[in-house]
Amino acid sequence: MQYRLLGNSGLAVSELCLGTMTFGNTTDEQESLRMVDRFVELGGNFLDTANVYVGGRSEEIVGKAIRSRRSELILATKVRFPTASHPNGGGLSRKHIMDSVDASLSRLGTDYIDLYQVHTWDQATPIEETLRALDDLIASGKVRYIGCSNFYAWHLMKALAVSDARQYARFVSIQQQYSLVSREMDRELLELCLEENVAVIPWAPIGGGFLTDRYGTTYPTEGRLANPNGGESSWVNRGNERNFAIRDAVQKAAKELGRTTSQVALRWLIQRDGITSPIFGARTLEHFEDNMGAIGWEMPSDVWTSLEEASALPSEYPKRFIKKFSRGLKD
């Protein structure tokens, strides 16, 4: 396992992050605890959860898993979505943040959170209020670093500018959907993260399972892709001609390299500039072991480039316009 600094900080995290959204749901407690043990055994130190995963049950299980080795692990959780039915039971107001961090600390059985992330933008709350509350949490010792998730590029830049102007703690990371079949970050956000040294922690790095060998070309009847509500990792957003072509390229690369498609999809991300630690989830130890096969080897440059080209977004304005007049500077 390799380790990387989390953005503009001195915090070292493993090149893969174990996502725990399945803990207490499709993965029972005992299997979840075994998964964390195995992750740590293989050198992993970075775990991600959220206060709304399985109604807080995920945080409770993660707390049990880390209790005897708290100082050696980097724990990330999130705040934003409703946890109560009253008017202040959600959002990024000072009240909801302060209430939520104490509830998360209680479920996690710890007195500090390494990385506290806002789960998405809150248009109802001034970003100044949110950042001041997060800065106070760092000053209190309840939180060590802060991050964001599911932002537009302008959301992130505005937040960084407010932090700089008011001398608040900065977001050191962003958790965003990013994979071979979801490269919207390439339009602006990834370049902004490189410029401002913000760590990128991709979620759904295998396309919600789409890039595995478990699915064909027709609507599935089980798994995350079968979500009838059309969530981000659902067949509604995955099952199209472009993505099938990308999956074919991944399968070709996997066959050539003697790897699984999950390992190839994860490895492409690990070797991409600006990517710090993809978050992978697993329902079973078998799936976990497959995903962990993404570490400890290098994808040949020609194979990596073939996947890059197969999945690249079409040339778009203003990027192509700016590139034309870049005066020979690097893209």
Q: Could you tell me which residues are beta bridge partners of residue 116? A: 77, 146
CATH number of 3-324: 3.20.20.100
Query: For residue 323, what pLDDT is reported?
Result: 85
> Among this protein's residues, is 178 annotated catalytic?
no
Query: For residue 329, what pLDDT is reported?
Result: 54
Query: For residue 226, what pLDDT is reported?
Result: 64
Active-site hit among 3, 53, 112, 152: 53
For residue 24, give the amino acid letter. Answer: G
Query: For residue 238, what pLDDT is reported?
Result: 79
Q: Domain map of the chain by residue range?
A: 3-324
Closest CA to 65 of 110, 95, 25, 102: 110
Find tokens 């790095």 and name the residue. Answer: 205
Query: For residue 218, what pLDDT is reported?
Result: 62
Query: For residue 296, what pLDDT is reported?
Result: 97
Query: For residue 221, what pLDDT is reported?
Result: 59
Q: What is the mean pLDDT of each run of 10 residues along the chain (331 residues)?
A: 98 98 97 98 98 97 97 98 94 98 98 98 98 98 98 98 98 98 97 98 94 73 63 74 95 98 98 98 96 98 98 94 76 50
Find tokens 């993965």 and name the residue. Answer: 27
Query: For residue 67, what pLDDT is reported?
Result: 95
Closest CA to 65 of 44, 35, 42, 43: 35
Q: Where are the alpha helices (DSSP H) in the chain?
A: 29-41, 57-66, 94-108, 127-140, 153-166, 189-196, 235-238, 241-257, 261-270, 285-292, 301-311, 319-324
